[in-house]
Structure 1
């Protein structure tokens, strides 16, 4: 008798910069979700697929939860909560380093998500990330008590997504709670996201890292052209960087075009690694005013209804 297969969706929720994308990339074994120290890095619900024997899970890395009410922020919040409709298991990730500095339990941002997942309908696991940087573990007691009170049925896993501490135990627990169901993907698939989307996300990541405090948040990346046929072994990609104001263009381009050139070189290297082929990457910057209020453009980005 063959073993029964398990399949399901694990929705990853948590505040901005809690480390969800870093964890997803570690679990998958390669980069599929962009990482930066800036909030609102993850905009779409990025999916990663893990297959271990008879168990297959689709992990959804959602936009970080926060309380901002302007710009694109409310749309990102709706995207995060909408992912719960697909969930078989919920993983709530918290930043241990941040909570070591708090004395009042869970942050107010988390009250809505606790309300949404605390009804016992779904298994909930809490990953307390970045425990490797907290020297005085006793400072985490208030958040541990708050989690136990807010989500009494949840299991708690201290981890470090960066170093891997506790990650195997967390993954084993998540996979064990998936329902019995046939697998939906080939064992070698690692994401449901199209490679064009992943390429645009890589460019956006390099922009986040290059711009630092200068970062204009009204910035998006679209792939305008993708040519794999004209020259064997070479993929030609033309990508547009959309900014909300004319004054943002020189920030992205940099003096003499050096910043844009650097972003392009670093993005090209990551895209080549992802595709396993040589890449010619052309970037240019376009002004698209008020794109966060353009339903058609938001749909093109995968953010609209």
Structure 2
């Protein structure tokens, strides 16, 4: 009997800080989506590709769902829900540890998600992430009951994106629910995102981690120049860090330039690992007043219409 070729899109939805990006990186087996303990780290829908024999899935890591209405937050929310238009399977990721502390079922901010995916049109799988840190498993019973009531057809998988607990079973279930179809990517491809975009995301991740609570949401990163030809074996990258106000510039640069230097060193190491070769990374900070309200610039970043 001939094996059936399957292909489809798995859209990953969930509240901010549920661990979607960590899970995507775990599923793919390498880092393609930036990770930070801060909410709204993911701005664009990042795609990862998994091929297992006759099965191929494109996973879309969407911005975290939230209630904020300022800055670029509404754009991120629209981007997350827009991804549902491409979905063949929906993967809802919830923070099990957070719900174990609540003891009152689903949070109100999950109701729009339930409404969006609860019509039965698409298969829905739910990953209760960070289950490994919940010592008293009975504390998960209220959220399990609430999810089962809200989405009775959904399947539940307690997992840990950090340790890999339960992830293989989740992946097997996801891949088995893909529709029949021809593969659209080579088996060795792991993302549809251009390497320049991924490099910019790596720089932005290091900024998020370095800036603490100061101004990570007021920064954006663009690749201004990418040179692989002038010196064989070396990729020269010039990246601009955009800030919304002049007063933000010294905060990014740091005393004596130490913060910017540290961000550059850490980003360069990750980019070299991604490219498999040496990288010269030059960073500089540009003031772009109120860039979060600049529609043309947001379009250049892949946000908005």
Classify the TM-score, shorter chain. Answer: over 0.9
Question: 1:103, CA displacement in angstroms?
Answer: 2.5
Deviations 1:227-250 (A, max 9, x none): 001110000000000011111111
Cα RMSD (Å) of the superposition?
Answer: 0.8
Distance of 1:260 and 1:207 partners within structure 2: 8
Summarize deviations over 1:102-145 as a string: whole Å, max 9, x none.
12211111111100100000000000000111111111111111
User: What TM-score do the two structures reach when normalised by structure 1?
Assistant: 0.99
Partner residue in 2 for 1:250: 250
Q: Distance in 2 between matches of 1:127 and 1:35?
A: 18
Partner residue in 2 for 1:144 = 144
Aligned residues: 305
Q: Normalising by structure 2, what TM-score?
A: 0.99
Separation in 1 of the partners of 2:141 and 2:258? 48
1:14: Cα distance to partner?
Answer: 0.2
Within 5 Å, which residues of 2 pair with 1:125-274?
125-274=125-274
5+ long unaligned stretches in structure 1: none
Q: 1:62-83 CA distances to partner (integer Å, 9 max, x unpaired)? A: 0000110111110000000000
What CA deviation, in whole Å up to 9, does each residue of 1:39-58 have, x standing for no partner?
11000000000000000000
Contact 2:207 2:216 in 1 (8 A): no
Provide Cα deviations, 1:1-53, integer angstroms capped at 9, x if missing partner.
Answer: 64220000000000001001001001111100000000110000000000000
- Superposed displacement of residue 294, structure 1: 1.0
What is the CA distance between 1:297 and its match in structure 2? 0.5
> Which deviations, in whole Å up to 9, do the C-alpha atoms of 1:156-206 show, x marking residues without a partner?
000000000000000000000000000000000000000000000000000
Alpha-carbon shift at residue 215 of structure 1 (Å): 3.0
Separation (CA, whole Å) in 2 of partners of 1:79 and 1:304: 8
Corresponding residue SS for 2:56 = strand
Contact 1:216 1:243 (8 Å CA) reproduced: no
- Gaps of at least 5 residues in structure 2 are none
Deviates more, 1:99-108 or 1:197-206: 99-108
